[in-house]
Amino acid sequence: MIGDRSTSDVVARLRTPDGRDEWIYCHSQILITKSKYFADRLSESWPTCQILDSRNCVEVYCQEHDFDHHITVLRLFYSIKCSVTDICHGVKNTLGVLQVAVNLGCPEIITTCVDYLEASPWEEAEEEEILKVIPGMGLSTEPILGRLQPVNQPTIVKIFLSATLFATSALPPTMVDLKTSAQEQIEYMLTEDDDAPLLTS
């Protein structure tokens, strides 16, 4: 369990430019499996190994506004499966988690965030933020921008499948708006485009 000092063999030390400094007691086997960043720094080939509280220590520097997202990602490492209900609580929050997951090299979390953002409706401000940050995140996040680009059939199919997943899943009451939006997106893709349906059989 994260934070269990009695079984921990590594400390993830989160630090911000404002002086915030928090030690998270973790387990190297989990960090190595879930994150390339931690796997690299806990490998024998990494040139330096810091010791903190008699344990290996990996420092992670982040901005204050990203601090909670880093905590979220560390907690998600301990989930049996990264489900959308664990990660995604609105577009803004999911985008923050995604940025951390990309920086730390966490493919499972990246995939879940991308699927959620593909299927979610975006407010104008959210779309502007997505356009600002997603292009710099690499290939793994590019599908999110599919709806803003000229029609590409494989991309449309992927968006449709993501929307179908959320439209047909048993989501908690707090995510009913996402389910409704996904259903509306499916209907639009099949029937309501001005020129022709985006997706045909």
The 10s digit of each residue's pLDDT in 52-79 is 888 889 999 999 999 999 999 999 999 8
User: Is the model more confident about 46 or about 106?
Assistant: 106
The 10s digit of each residue's pLDDT in 3-42 is 888 999 999 999 999 999 999 999 999 999 999 999 999 9
SS3 sequence of 71-128: HHHHHHCCCCCCCHHHHCCCHHHHHHHHHHHHHHCCHHHHHHHHHHHHHCCCCHHHHH
With a cut of 50, say whether residue 196 has pLDDT above it: no
Q: What is the pTM of this model?
A: 0.72
Mean pLDDT, to the nearest integer, of 143-166? 73
Mean pLDDT of the chain: 83
CA nearest neighbour of 151 among 200, 118, 198? 198
Tell me which H or E stretch contains 130.
helix 124-133
CA nearest neighbour of 53 among 117, 8, 108, 103? 8
Specify the pLDDT at position 15: 95
CA nearest neighbour of 94 among 63, 64, 115, 124? 115
Contact 199, 154 (CB under 8 A): no
The 10s digit of each residue's pLDDT in 129-151 is 998 888 888 888 888 887 776 55
